[in-house]
Amino acid sequence: MTTVHVPAPRPTAADLSVWPASTTEAAHGDLAVGGVPLTEIADRFGTPVYVLDEAEVRERCRTYRDEFPEAEVLYAAKAFLCRAMAHWIDEEGLGLDVCSAGELELAVTTGFPPERIVLHGNAKSPRDLDTALRLGVGRIVIDSPSEIARLAAAVGPDGHQKVMARVVPGISAGGHEKIRTGSDDQKFGLSISDGYAQHAIARILDQPQLELTGLHCHLGSQITTVKPYLVAVRRMVGLMMRLHEQHGLVLPELDLGGGHGIAYRPGEPALDLTTLARRIRAELADACATAGLPEPRLLIEPGRAIAGPAGVALYHVLAVKHTGDRIFVAVDGGMSDNPRPALYGVRYAPRLVGRRSTAAPARVTVVGRHCEAGDVLASDVDLPRDVHPGDLLAVPVAGAYHLSMASGYNLVGRPPLTAVRDGHARLLVRRESLDDIRNRDVGL
Protein backbone atom coordinates (compact mmCIF):
# COMPACT_ATOMS: atom_id res chain seq x y z
CA MET A 1 0.00 0.00 0.00
CA THR A 2 1.26 3.43 -0.90
CA THR A 3 1.24 5.95 1.92
CA VAL A 4 0.12 9.37 0.80
CA HIS A 5 1.51 12.21 2.86
CA VAL A 6 -0.98 15.03 3.26
CA PRO A 7 0.81 18.22 4.23
CA ALA A 8 -0.63 20.29 7.04
CA PRO A 9 -2.45 23.41 5.91
CA ARG A 10 -0.20 26.46 5.82
CA PRO A 11 -1.34 29.69 7.43
CA THR A 12 -3.08 32.07 5.10
CA ALA A 13 -2.99 35.84 5.20
CA ALA A 14 -6.36 35.78 6.94
CA ASP A 15 -4.93 33.55 9.68
CA LEU A 16 -2.30 36.17 10.46
CA SER A 17 -4.46 39.25 9.99
CA VAL A 18 -4.57 40.09 13.72
CA TRP A 19 -0.89 39.32 14.31
CA PRO A 20 1.94 41.88 14.20
CA ALA A 21 2.87 42.77 10.62
CA SER A 22 6.32 41.22 11.10
CA THR A 23 4.85 37.75 11.80
CA THR A 24 6.12 35.03 9.48
CA GLU A 25 5.75 31.28 9.34
CA ALA A 26 8.91 29.53 10.46
CA ALA A 27 9.91 25.89 10.24
CA HIS A 28 7.95 23.03 11.80
CA GLY A 29 4.80 25.04 12.43
CA ASP A 30 6.54 27.80 14.38
CA LEU A 31 5.83 31.48 13.94
CA ALA A 32 8.38 34.27 14.19
CA VAL A 33 7.58 37.81 15.34
CA GLY A 34 10.11 40.54 14.75
CA GLY A 35 12.36 37.89 13.24
CA VAL A 36 12.43 35.82 16.47
CA PRO A 37 10.78 32.35 16.58
CA LEU A 38 8.17 32.16 19.32
CA THR A 39 9.51 28.78 20.44
CA GLU A 40 12.89 30.41 21.02
CA ILE A 41 11.28 33.04 23.25
CA ALA A 42 9.39 30.40 25.24
CA ASP A 43 12.57 28.35 25.70
CA ARG A 44 14.65 31.35 26.71
CA PHE A 45 12.24 33.18 29.00
CA GLY A 46 9.76 30.47 30.05
CA THR A 47 6.00 30.70 29.96
CA PRO A 48 3.69 32.48 30.38
CA VAL A 49 5.51 35.29 28.63
CA TYR A 50 4.44 38.37 26.71
CA VAL A 51 6.11 39.33 23.43
CA LEU A 52 5.94 42.93 22.21
CA ASP A 53 6.93 43.88 18.67
CA GLU A 54 8.76 47.21 18.97
CA ALA A 55 8.51 47.97 15.25
CA GLU A 56 4.74 47.42 15.34
CA VAL A 57 4.35 49.84 18.26
CA ARG A 58 6.40 52.48 16.49
CA GLU A 59 4.57 52.03 13.19
CA ARG A 60 1.20 52.43 14.88
CA CYS A 61 2.42 55.64 16.52
CA ARG A 62 3.47 56.94 13.10
CA THR A 63 0.11 55.99 11.60
CA TYR A 64 -1.66 58.14 14.17
CA ARG A 65 0.70 61.04 13.53
CA ASP A 66 0.11 60.73 9.80
CA GLU A 67 -3.67 60.46 10.05
CA PHE A 68 -4.00 63.27 12.63
CA PRO A 69 -1.17 65.66 11.69
CA GLU A 70 -2.95 68.66 13.21
CA ALA A 71 -3.81 66.89 16.49
CA GLU A 72 -1.90 66.15 19.66
CA VAL A 73 -1.78 62.37 19.99
CA LEU A 74 -1.43 61.08 23.55
CA TYR A 75 -0.70 57.42 24.22
CA ALA A 76 -3.01 56.07 26.96
CA ALA A 77 -0.52 54.54 29.39
CA LYS A 78 -3.13 52.47 31.19
CA ALA A 79 -3.14 50.07 28.22
CA PHE A 80 0.46 49.15 28.98
CA LEU A 81 3.43 51.09 30.26
CA CYS A 82 7.03 50.25 30.99
CA ARG A 83 10.19 52.31 30.67
CA ALA A 84 10.92 51.10 27.15
CA MET A 85 7.36 51.85 26.04
CA ALA A 86 7.61 55.39 27.40
CA HIS A 87 10.89 55.80 25.52
CA TRP A 88 9.39 54.57 22.23
CA ILE A 89 6.36 56.84 22.58
CA ASP A 90 8.62 59.82 23.30
CA GLU A 91 10.85 59.09 20.31
CA GLU A 92 7.82 58.81 18.02
CA GLY A 93 6.61 62.26 19.08
CA LEU A 94 3.46 61.31 20.99
CA GLY A 95 2.35 62.68 24.33
CA LEU A 96 1.26 60.55 27.26
CA ASP A 97 -2.01 60.14 29.14
CA VAL A 98 -1.53 58.77 32.68
CA CYS A 99 -3.95 57.85 35.46
CA SER A 100 -1.78 57.75 38.57
CA ALA A 101 1.34 59.03 40.28
CA GLY A 102 2.93 55.65 39.54
CA GLU A 103 2.46 55.90 35.78
CA LEU A 104 3.52 59.55 35.87
CA GLU A 105 6.71 58.97 37.87
CA LEU A 106 7.73 55.98 35.77
CA ALA A 107 7.42 58.04 32.60
CA VAL A 108 9.18 61.15 33.90
CA THR A 109 12.05 59.24 35.53
CA THR A 110 12.53 57.50 32.17
CA GLY A 111 13.03 60.91 30.61
CA PHE A 112 9.57 61.60 29.20
CA PRO A 113 8.91 65.38 29.07
CA PRO A 114 6.30 66.13 31.78
CA GLU A 115 4.81 69.00 29.80
CA ARG A 116 3.62 66.43 27.22
CA ILE A 117 1.76 64.42 29.87
CA VAL A 118 -1.92 64.66 30.81
CA LEU A 119 -3.13 63.34 34.18
CA HIS A 120 -6.56 61.68 34.30
CA GLY A 121 -8.57 59.96 37.01
CA ASN A 122 -12.06 60.10 38.47
CA ALA A 123 -10.70 59.99 42.04
CA LYS A 124 -7.21 61.44 42.10
CA SER A 125 -5.40 60.94 45.37
CA PRO A 126 -3.46 63.74 47.11
CA ARG A 127 -0.29 61.94 46.01
CA ASP A 128 -1.48 61.94 42.39
CA LEU A 129 -2.03 65.71 42.43
CA ASP A 130 1.10 66.51 44.44
CA THR A 131 3.23 64.42 42.09
CA ALA A 132 1.69 66.04 39.02
CA LEU A 133 2.41 69.53 40.34
CA ARG A 134 5.89 68.65 41.55
CA LEU A 135 6.90 67.14 38.21
CA GLY A 136 5.24 69.86 36.13
CA VAL A 137 2.64 67.82 34.26
CA GLY A 138 1.22 69.56 31.19
CA ARG A 139 -2.48 69.33 31.98
CA ILE A 140 -4.69 67.87 34.69
CA VAL A 141 -8.17 66.72 33.66
CA ILE A 142 -10.73 67.72 36.29
CA ASP A 143 -13.27 64.95 36.71
CA SER A 144 -15.40 66.18 39.62
CA PRO A 145 -16.24 69.49 41.35
CA SER A 146 -14.43 68.45 44.53
CA GLU A 147 -11.13 68.38 42.64
CA ILE A 148 -11.35 72.07 41.79
CA ALA A 149 -10.81 73.46 45.27
CA ARG A 150 -8.29 70.75 46.17
CA LEU A 151 -6.23 71.40 43.08
CA ALA A 152 -6.41 75.18 43.44
CA ALA A 153 -5.22 74.92 47.05
CA ALA A 154 -2.39 72.59 46.06
CA VAL A 155 -1.28 74.94 43.28
CA GLY A 156 -1.28 77.90 45.67
CA PRO A 157 -2.21 81.55 45.04
CA ASP A 158 0.97 82.27 43.09
CA GLY A 159 1.01 79.04 41.09
CA HIS A 160 -0.37 78.11 37.70
CA GLN A 161 -1.71 74.88 36.26
CA LYS A 162 -3.36 74.10 32.93
CA VAL A 163 -6.52 72.01 33.30
CA MET A 164 -9.24 70.47 31.18
CA ALA A 165 -12.77 69.52 32.22
CA ARG A 166 -13.95 65.99 31.52
CA VAL A 167 -17.47 66.18 30.17
CA VAL A 168 -20.02 63.41 29.76
CA PRO A 169 -21.69 63.92 26.37
CA GLY A 170 -24.46 61.35 26.97
CA ILE A 171 -23.35 58.85 24.34
CA SER A 172 -23.35 55.10 24.90
CA ALA A 173 -20.59 53.49 22.87
CA GLY A 174 -18.14 50.65 23.37
CA GLY A 175 -17.76 46.90 23.13
CA HIS A 176 -19.24 46.07 26.56
CA GLU A 177 -21.26 47.89 29.21
CA LYS A 178 -18.26 47.83 31.57
CA ILE A 179 -16.14 49.83 29.15
CA ARG A 180 -18.72 52.46 28.15
CA THR A 181 -17.82 55.77 29.75
CA GLY A 182 -19.65 58.41 27.72
CA SER A 183 -23.13 57.93 29.20
CA ASP A 184 -24.62 59.62 32.26
CA ASP A 185 -24.91 56.45 34.36
CA GLN A 186 -21.22 55.82 35.10
CA LYS A 187 -18.55 57.26 37.38
CA PHE A 188 -16.58 59.48 35.02
CA GLY A 189 -16.87 63.15 34.20
CA LEU A 190 -19.33 66.02 34.42
CA SER A 191 -22.72 65.66 32.75
CA ILE A 192 -23.89 68.14 30.16
CA SER A 193 -27.55 67.11 30.38
CA ASP A 194 -28.11 68.18 34.01
CA GLY A 195 -25.93 71.29 33.89
CA TYR A 196 -23.29 69.74 36.14
CA ALA A 197 -20.53 70.40 33.61
CA GLN A 198 -21.46 74.05 33.14
CA HIS A 199 -21.57 74.64 36.90
CA ALA A 200 -18.17 73.01 37.44
CA ILE A 201 -16.60 74.96 34.59
CA ALA A 202 -17.85 78.22 36.12
CA ARG A 203 -16.12 77.24 39.36
CA ILE A 204 -12.88 76.50 37.50
CA LEU A 205 -13.00 79.95 35.92
CA ASP A 206 -13.24 81.46 39.41
CA GLN A 207 -9.81 80.03 40.26
CA PRO A 208 -7.22 82.35 38.70
CA GLN A 209 -4.38 79.88 39.21
CA LEU A 210 -6.20 77.28 37.07
CA GLU A 211 -6.12 77.83 33.31
CA LEU A 212 -8.93 75.99 31.52
CA THR A 213 -7.49 75.04 28.14
CA GLY A 214 -10.32 72.89 26.85
CA LEU A 215 -12.93 70.18 27.22
CA HIS A 216 -12.33 66.45 27.36
CA CYS A 217 -14.59 63.47 26.75
CA HIS A 218 -14.04 59.74 26.47
CA LEU A 219 -16.89 57.64 25.09
CA GLY A 220 -15.69 54.14 25.97
CA SER A 221 -13.48 51.39 24.62
CA GLN A 222 -13.53 49.09 21.61
CA ILE A 223 -15.57 51.49 19.47
CA THR A 224 -15.46 50.31 15.86
CA THR A 225 -17.70 52.87 14.13
CA VAL A 226 -17.16 56.57 13.45
CA LYS A 227 -20.63 57.87 14.26
CA PRO A 228 -20.29 58.14 18.08
CA TYR A 229 -17.28 60.41 17.67
CA LEU A 230 -19.15 62.67 15.27
CA VAL A 231 -22.05 62.98 17.71
CA ALA A 232 -19.52 63.80 20.44
CA VAL A 233 -17.98 66.56 18.33
CA ARG A 234 -21.38 68.19 17.86
CA ARG A 235 -22.28 68.02 21.55
CA MET A 236 -18.90 69.23 22.74
CA VAL A 237 -18.87 72.16 20.32
CA GLY A 238 -22.42 72.94 21.42
CA LEU A 239 -21.19 73.20 25.01
CA MET A 240 -18.26 75.34 23.90
CA MET A 241 -20.70 77.69 22.20
CA ARG A 242 -22.78 78.02 25.39
CA LEU A 243 -19.64 78.71 27.43
CA HIS A 244 -18.70 81.42 24.95
CA GLU A 245 -22.14 82.99 25.29
CA GLN A 246 -22.09 82.82 29.11
CA HIS A 247 -18.47 83.68 29.86
CA GLY A 248 -16.98 85.03 26.63
CA LEU A 249 -14.76 81.96 26.74
CA VAL A 250 -13.00 80.63 23.65
CA LEU A 251 -11.37 77.29 24.47
CA PRO A 252 -8.34 76.35 22.34
CA GLU A 253 -8.45 72.56 22.87
CA LEU A 254 -10.88 69.68 22.46
CA ASP A 255 -9.90 66.19 23.60
CA LEU A 256 -12.02 63.37 22.14
CA GLY A 257 -10.33 60.62 24.17
CA GLY A 258 -9.63 57.23 22.66
CA GLY A 259 -11.43 53.92 22.66
CA HIS A 260 -10.49 53.06 19.08
CA GLY A 261 -11.53 49.46 18.49
CA ILE A 262 -9.22 46.73 17.19
CA ALA A 263 -9.83 43.19 15.94
CA TYR A 264 -8.95 40.39 18.35
CA ARG A 265 -9.88 37.60 15.92
CA PRO A 266 -9.70 37.38 12.13
CA GLY A 267 -12.77 38.91 10.51
CA GLU A 268 -13.71 41.14 13.43
CA PRO A 269 -14.27 44.85 12.72
CA ALA A 270 -11.78 47.54 13.67
CA LEU A 271 -12.08 51.30 13.62
CA ASP A 272 -10.85 52.78 10.33
CA LEU A 273 -8.47 55.58 11.34
CA THR A 274 -8.38 57.20 7.91
CA THR A 275 -12.16 57.52 7.84
CA LEU A 276 -12.25 58.63 11.48
CA ALA A 277 -9.73 61.40 10.92
CA ARG A 278 -11.41 62.67 7.76
CA ARG A 279 -14.92 62.64 9.22
CA ILE A 280 -13.92 64.23 12.53
CA ARG A 281 -12.04 66.98 10.69
CA ALA A 282 -15.08 67.78 8.55
CA GLU A 283 -17.54 67.55 11.45
CA LEU A 284 -15.46 69.83 13.65
CA ALA A 285 -15.07 72.42 10.91
CA ASP A 286 -18.81 72.44 10.20
CA ALA A 287 -19.83 72.49 13.89
CA CYS A 288 -17.47 75.38 14.68
CA ALA A 289 -18.60 77.35 11.63
CA THR A 290 -22.21 76.92 12.73
CA ALA A 291 -21.35 77.98 16.29
CA GLY A 292 -19.24 80.94 15.15
CA LEU A 293 -16.17 79.62 16.95
CA PRO A 294 -12.58 79.07 15.82
CA GLU A 295 -11.64 75.42 15.55
CA PRO A 296 -9.92 74.10 18.67
CA ARG A 297 -6.85 71.91 18.45
CA LEU A 298 -7.79 68.24 18.69
CA LEU A 299 -6.32 65.83 21.21
CA ILE A 300 -6.83 62.06 20.95
CA GLU A 301 -5.77 59.30 23.33
CA PRO A 302 -5.24 55.89 21.69
CA GLY A 303 -3.89 53.14 23.91
CA ARG A 304 -5.17 49.72 22.95
CA ALA A 305 -4.94 50.55 19.23
CA ILE A 306 -1.19 51.15 19.58
CA ALA A 307 -0.15 48.45 22.05
CA GLY A 308 -2.76 45.71 21.61
CA PRO A 309 -1.96 44.33 18.14
CA ALA A 310 1.79 44.52 18.86
CA GLY A 311 1.63 41.90 21.62
CA VAL A 312 1.54 38.10 21.76
CA ALA A 313 1.11 35.92 24.86
CA LEU A 314 2.73 32.48 25.02
CA TYR A 315 1.57 29.56 27.19
CA HIS A 316 2.44 25.90 27.58
CA VAL A 317 -0.37 23.36 27.76
CA LEU A 318 -0.47 21.57 31.13
CA ALA A 319 -3.48 19.31 30.72
CA VAL A 320 -6.19 18.27 28.27
CA LYS A 321 -9.47 17.08 29.74
CA HIS A 322 -12.50 15.57 27.97
CA THR A 323 -15.68 16.22 29.96
CA GLY A 324 -18.82 15.02 28.24
CA ASP A 325 -18.80 16.62 24.83
CA ARG A 326 -16.38 19.37 25.86
CA ILE A 327 -12.61 19.53 25.62
CA PHE A 328 -10.70 21.72 28.07
CA VAL A 329 -7.12 22.69 27.32
CA ALA A 330 -5.48 24.02 30.49
CA VAL A 331 -2.42 26.27 30.24
CA ASP A 332 0.16 27.60 32.69
CA GLY A 333 -1.37 31.08 32.89
CA GLY A 334 -4.89 32.42 33.12
CA MET A 335 -6.88 35.22 34.66
CA SER A 336 -3.90 36.49 36.67
CA ASP A 337 -2.15 37.49 33.43
CA ASN A 338 -5.28 38.20 31.36
CA PRO A 339 -8.46 38.98 33.32
CA ARG A 340 -10.27 40.47 30.32
CA PRO A 341 -12.27 37.38 29.27
CA ALA A 342 -13.55 37.02 32.84
CA LEU A 343 -14.27 40.75 33.19
CA TYR A 344 -16.10 41.39 29.94
CA GLY A 345 -16.14 38.33 27.74
CA VAL A 346 -13.34 39.16 25.33
CA ARG A 347 -12.74 36.50 22.65
CA TYR A 348 -9.27 35.49 21.47
CA ALA A 349 -7.87 33.22 18.75
CA PRO A 350 -5.05 31.08 20.23
CA ARG A 351 -2.87 29.11 17.89
CA LEU A 352 -0.65 26.04 18.24
CA VAL A 353 2.98 26.90 17.46
CA GLY A 354 6.17 24.89 17.50
CA ARG A 355 4.94 21.81 15.67
CA ARG A 356 2.94 21.12 12.55
CA SER A 357 -0.14 19.00 13.23
CA THR A 358 -2.04 17.05 10.59
CA ALA A 359 -4.90 16.30 12.99
CA ALA A 360 -8.37 17.58 12.28
CA PRO A 361 -9.45 20.62 14.27
CA ALA A 362 -11.48 20.20 17.44
CA ARG A 363 -13.60 22.77 19.23
CA VAL A 364 -11.97 23.37 22.63
CA THR A 365 -12.03 25.82 25.52
CA VAL A 366 -8.66 27.11 26.67
CA VAL A 367 -8.70 27.57 30.43
CA GLY A 368 -6.25 28.86 33.01
CA ARG A 369 -4.68 27.34 36.09
CA HIS A 370 -6.58 29.35 38.72
CA CYS A 371 -9.23 28.09 41.13
CA GLU A 372 -12.11 29.90 39.42
CA ALA A 373 -14.69 28.46 37.04
CA GLY A 374 -14.51 31.77 35.18
CA ASP A 375 -10.80 31.40 34.49
CA VAL A 376 -11.27 30.95 30.75
CA LEU A 377 -8.86 32.44 28.21
CA ALA A 378 -10.63 31.40 24.99
CA SER A 379 -14.03 29.75 24.65
CA ASP A 380 -15.00 27.43 21.79
CA VAL A 381 -11.94 27.83 19.59
CA ASP A 382 -10.46 25.44 17.05
CA LEU A 383 -7.18 23.72 17.86
CA PRO A 384 -5.73 20.48 16.41
CA ARG A 385 -7.46 17.46 17.95
CA ASP A 386 -4.09 16.06 19.03
CA VAL A 387 -3.20 19.05 21.25
CA HIS A 388 -1.44 17.69 24.31
CA PRO A 389 0.53 18.68 27.42
CA GLY A 390 3.79 20.38 26.51
CA ASP A 391 2.40 22.07 23.40
CA LEU A 392 2.97 25.79 23.01
CA LEU A 393 -0.01 28.09 22.40
CA ALA A 394 0.30 31.67 21.18
CA VAL A 395 -2.43 34.28 21.67
CA PRO A 396 -2.21 37.38 19.45
CA VAL A 397 -3.43 40.90 20.30
CA ALA A 398 -2.05 40.63 23.84
CA GLY A 399 -0.24 43.95 24.11
CA ALA A 400 -2.91 45.98 25.92
CA TYR A 401 -4.60 45.39 29.27
CA HIS A 402 -2.72 42.14 29.91
CA LEU A 403 0.36 42.89 31.98
CA SER A 404 -1.13 46.24 33.02
CA MET A 405 -4.09 44.40 34.62
CA ALA A 406 -2.18 41.33 35.81
CA SER A 407 -2.66 40.34 39.44
CA GLY A 408 -1.09 38.21 42.12
CA TYR A 409 -4.04 35.83 42.41
CA ASN A 410 -3.09 32.45 43.92
CA LEU A 411 0.37 34.02 44.45
CA VAL A 412 1.27 33.20 40.87
CA GLY A 413 3.95 35.66 39.78
CA ARG A 414 3.22 38.01 36.93
CA PRO A 415 4.85 37.02 33.62
CA PRO A 416 7.84 38.73 32.02
CA LEU A 417 7.62 40.89 28.93
CA THR A 418 10.10 40.74 26.08
CA ALA A 419 10.61 43.03 23.12
CA VAL A 420 11.49 41.73 19.67
CA ARG A 421 13.00 43.62 16.77
CA ASP A 422 15.24 42.74 13.81
CA GLY A 423 15.79 39.17 14.93
CA HIS A 424 16.67 39.97 18.53
CA ALA A 425 14.68 39.54 21.74
CA ARG A 426 15.40 41.37 24.97
CA LEU A 427 13.79 41.39 28.40
CA LEU A 428 11.90 44.56 29.32
CA VAL A 429 10.03 43.43 32.44
CA ARG A 430 11.30 40.43 34.41
CA ARG A 431 9.13 37.67 35.81
CA GLU A 432 7.77 38.30 39.30
CA SER A 433 9.44 35.71 41.49
CA LEU A 434 8.42 33.95 44.69
CA ASP A 435 11.12 36.00 46.41
CA ASP A 436 9.36 39.18 45.25
CA ILE A 437 6.11 37.90 46.72
CA ARG A 438 7.73 36.82 50.01
CA ASN A 439 9.60 40.12 50.40
CA ARG A 440 6.35 42.08 50.35
CA ASP A 441 4.95 39.98 53.20
CA VAL A 442 6.59 41.64 56.21
CA GLY A 443 4.31 40.51 59.05
CA LEU A 444 4.03 37.33 61.05
Which pLDDT belongs to residue 188?
67
Rounded Cα distance, 364 and 55, in Å: 33
Rounded Cα distance, 270 and 61, in Å: 17
- State phi, psi for 376 to the nearest 5 degrees: -120, 125
Contact 283, 232 (CB under 8 A): no
Residue 321: count of CB within 10 angstroms of its CB: 12
Of 61, 82, 288, 371, the active-site residue reads: 371
Quote the DSSP letter at residue 284: H
Q: Are strands 424-429 and 417-421 parallel, antiparallel or unpaired?
A: antiparallel
Contact 321, 279 (CB under 8 A): no
- State phi, psi for 415 to the nearest 5 degrees: -70, 165
Contact 220, 260 (CB under 8 A): no
In DSSP terms, which residues pair with 32 in a beta bridge? 24, 37
Rounded Cα distance, 308 and 270, in Å: 12
Which pLDDT belongs to residue 15?
84
Where does residue 38 fall: left (phi above 0), alpha (psi -120 to 50 degrees), or beta otherwise? alpha
Which pLDDT belongs to residue 195?
82
One digit per residue, the tens of pLDDT, for the chain of length 444 reads: 334 333 343 444 448 999 999 999 987 899 999 999 999 999 999 999 999 999 999 999 999 999 999 999 999 999 999 999 999 999 999 999 999 999 999 999 999 999 999 999 988 999 999 999 999 999 999 999 999 999 999 999 999 999 999 999 877 555 445 444 444 555 567 888 788 889 999 999 999 999 999 999 999 889 999 999 999 999 999 999 999 999 999 999 999 999 999 999 999 999 999 999 999 999 999 999 999 999 999 999 999 999 999 999 999 999 999 988 899 999 999 999 999 999 988 999 999 999 999 999 999 999 999 999 899 999 999 999 999 999 999 999 999 999 999 999 999 999 999 999 999 999 999 999 999 999 999 998
Which pLDDT belongs to residue 324?
86
CA 345 to mean position of chain CA atoms: 16
Rounded Cα distance, 414 and 405, in Å: 10
Which pLDDT belongs to residue 186?
53
Which pLDDT belongs to residue 211?
98
Contact 351, 378 (CB under 8 A): no
Rounded Cα distance, 51 and 243, in Å: 47
Which pLDDT belongs to residue 183?
42
- Look up 82 and say whether it is catalytic: no
Structural domains in the chain, sorted by start: 24-52+309-439 (2.40.37.10), 54-306 (3.20.20.10)
Rounded Cα distance, 341 and 72, in Å: 32
